[in-house]
Amino acid sequence: MTDTLHILSVGKGGWGGALLLAAGVTFALSVLGFLLGALFGAVAAGGRLSTRALPSWVAKGYGTVFRGVPDLLTIYLLYYGGSIALTEIGKFFGSAGFVGLPTFATGVLAIGIISGAYQAEVYRGAYLAVDLGQFEASKALGLSRFQSLRLVIVPQLMRHALPGLGNVWQLVLKDSALISVIGLVELMRQSQIGAGSMREPFVFYIAAATLYFLIATVTGSVFRYGEARAWRGMVHA
């Protein structure tokens, strides 16, 4: 027991500090990936809602592929595909050997692409949930299309989107553990390193699970608070 405490302590000889730092990397990776996914998701939702065939078709394909294919496969595609392309460019400029993509940026991109596919569905559903009268009213007020989106539709749309976004966020947080396979030292990878060097896998993976659970619980309540705030002054149906 004292052994375990010593291993996980923050001070000298303990892994606690490294694990907390790695949990920070996991959090940063997830937040940035989620935000990038919001951008991809918004664009894809716009495509899905478009009446023209091509954007709607492309957005639908994007959603089908990245929600249907294992996330691990997508991560391999981006990391190896990107690194291979980079190595080719490196060869052109006379560098020899394999050039790896920066792992943090690749992780953010991978999570962005995957979560964007899920967020698109959330935004699309939320957009369709906004009352048609709101669109007509903003038109009647003489607002431009962009103004009506920014001032009228999006604030109301977020109300319907928040529960779904909360689910996607939980998915993102857990997906971020997969980025460990490309060598980024986030919480999962740091626990593997610790487990290997101290020969105490059980302690380290329990510690990792606890930290993931804490992040998930705390951020989950942030989403619930946001939801309550978004609905303030409204009567729930």
Partner 1 sequence: MIDFAFFVEIIPTLLSGLPLTLRLAGLSIGIGFALALLLALAQQGNHRMLVWPIRSFVAVFRGTPLLVQIFLIYYGLGQFRPTLQAVGLWWLFREPYWCAVIALSLNTAAYGSEILRGAIQGVPRGLVEAASAFGMTRLQTLRLVVLPLALRQAIPSYSNEIILMVKGTSLASIVTLMEVTGIAQGLISQTYRAVEVFVAAGAIYLTINFTIISTLNALETWLTPYRVRA
In the chain, how many H helices and how many E strands? 10, 0
212 contributes a contact to partner 1 by CB under 8 A: yes
All residues at 6 or more sequence positions from 172 whose CB lies less than 8 Å from its CB, including other chains: 30, 33, 34, 37, 111, 115
Q: Where do we find the tokens 């060598």?
A: 183
202 contributes a contact to partner 1 by CB under 8 A: yes
Give the CA angle between residues 64, 66, 68 to the nearest 5°: 60
Stretch that binds partner 1, among 10-18, 48-56, 80-88, 133-141 (CB under 8 A): 80-88
According to CB under 8 A, which one of 103, 188, 190, 194 is a site residue for partner 1?
A: 188
Q: Where do we find the tokens 């409204």?
A: 234
Stretch that binds partner 1, among 3-11, 140-148, 193-201, 228-236 (CB under 8 A): 193-201
According to CB under 8 A, which one of 31, 192, 193, 226 is a site residue for partner 1?
A: 192
> What are the backbone angles phi and psi of residue 3, rounded to the nearest 5°?
-60, -50
According to CB under 8 A, which one of 5, 35, 72, 128 is a site residue for partner 1?
A: 72
111 contributes a contact to partner 1 by CB under 8 A: no
Cα gap 211→208, rounded to integer Å: 5
- Kindly list the distances between the CA atom of residue 159 and the CA atoms of 125, 169, 172, 226, in Å, as whole numbers in the listed order: 11, 16, 20, 9
According to CB under 8 A, which one of 13, 68, 94, 142 is a site residue for partner 1?
A: 68
All residues at 6 or more sequence positions from 226 whose CB lies less than 8 Å from its CB, including other chains: 162
CB of 191 to partner 1, least distance (A): 8
22 contributes a contact to partner 1 by CB under 8 A: no
* Binding site residues, partner 1, CB under 8 A: 64-65, 67-74, 76-77, 80-81, 84, 170, 173-178, 180-181, 188, 191-192, 195, 199-202, 205-206, 208-209, 212-213, 216-217
